[in-house]
């Protein structure tokens, strides 16, 4: 059973998401929060697997709450769900440690699948945002002063190949075909990469790759 906390200051949104998720037997909504501060309190009390987090809320915004939740609760994953698709929100959400970013007009089935994916250790990003995100990564790709030196890591040559393909936006099956591997092997490589880089999701692997000049 995947437990979910819904954090949004609008009752109609909280109720709507609750109804969307109620149709999935493997998902149970265990609580709601009306602000960022309230979300942190509810996470502490309920320990949900996944938090659906709005950005703009009173008494503590969603990005600040996401940072604190990710820092304090190792097993809790956050999906930022918002009306706003401005690039700065996407980057701020991912920098805060969120495992995904979706828009509120996401199809209900896609929302439920996103919860399942993130609970299983994956990451999600609204398909409408992926090309823009990759383009922005490319624009920001030149490493700054803090990352001008070669990044320190112990990734193998094969793992570096996987990182570069992830940065191109390829899925597991496409990476498997490109490298002539089984999909299970690709999943193992991605898990090892996340562990070695000390990040939670493949999205954060891509961020690392662009920030350190591994991908351009």
Q: Is the pTM of this model over 0.85?
A: no
List the chain domain ranges.
Answer: 2-128, 136-211
Per DSSP, helices labelled H in the chain are 11-22, 36-46, 62-72, 87-95, 108-119, 130-139, 157-167, 172-179, 183-197, 202-211
Rounded-to-integer distance, Cα 137 and Cα 143, Å: 11
| Stretch 165-175: mean pLDDT | 82
Is the predicted pLDDT of residue 179 greater than 80, yes or no?
A: yes
Rounded-to-integer distance, Cα 112 and Cα 167, Å: 25
pLDDT in tens, 36-75: 999 999 999 999 999 999 988 988 889 999 999 999 998 9
Tokens (6 digits) for 126: 């609204």
Give the model's confidence band at 207: pLDDT under 50 very low, under 70 low, under 90 confident, else very high.
confident
pLDDT of residue 14: 95
Q: Which CATH architecture has domain 2-128?
A: 3-Layer(aba) Sandwich (3.40)
Is the predicted pLDDT of residue 193 greater than 80, yes or no?
A: yes
Rounded percentage of the chain residues whose pLDDT exceeds 90: 48
Rounded percentage of the chain residues whose pLDDT exceeds 70: 85
CB 152 within 8 A of CB 198: no
| Domains 2-128 and 136-211 agree in fold | no
| Stretch 85-92: mean pLDDT | 68
Is the predicted pLDDT of residue 160 greater than 70, yes or no?
A: yes
| Stretch 84-112: mean pLDDT | 80
Q: Which CATH architecture has domain 136-211?
A: Orthogonal Bundle (1.10)
pLDDT in tens, 107-150: 899 899 999 989 988 778 776 666 666 666 556 554 444 444 55
Classified as helix, coil or strand, 126 is: coil
């Amino acid at each position: 059973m995947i437990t979910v906390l819904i954090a949004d200051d609008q009752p109609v949104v909280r109720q709507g998401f609750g109804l969307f998720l109620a149709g999935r037997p493997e998902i149970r909504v265990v609580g709601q929060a009306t602000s960022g501060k309230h979300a942190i309190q509810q996470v502490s009390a309920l320990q949900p697997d996944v938090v659906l987090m709005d950005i703009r809320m009173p008494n503590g915004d969603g990005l600040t709450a996401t940072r604190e939740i990710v820092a304090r609760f190792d097993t809790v994953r956050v999906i930022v769900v918002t009306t706003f698709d401005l690039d700065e929100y996407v980057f701020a959400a991912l920098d805060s440690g969120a495992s995904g970013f979706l828009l509120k007009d996401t199809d209900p089935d896609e929302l439920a699948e996103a919860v399942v994916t993130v609970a299983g250790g994956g990451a999600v990003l609204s398909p409408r945002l992926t090309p823009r995100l990759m383009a922005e990564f490319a624009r920001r790709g030149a490493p700054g002063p803090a990352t001008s030196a070669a990044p320190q890591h112990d990734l193998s040559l094969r793992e570096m190949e996987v990182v570069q393909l992830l940065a191109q936006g390829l899925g597991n099956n496409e990476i498997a075909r490109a490298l002539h591997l089984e999909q299970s092997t690709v999943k193992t490589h991605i898990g090892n990469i996340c562990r070695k880089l000390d990040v939670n999701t493949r999205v954060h692997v891509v961020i690392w790759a662009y920030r350190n000049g591994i991908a351009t």
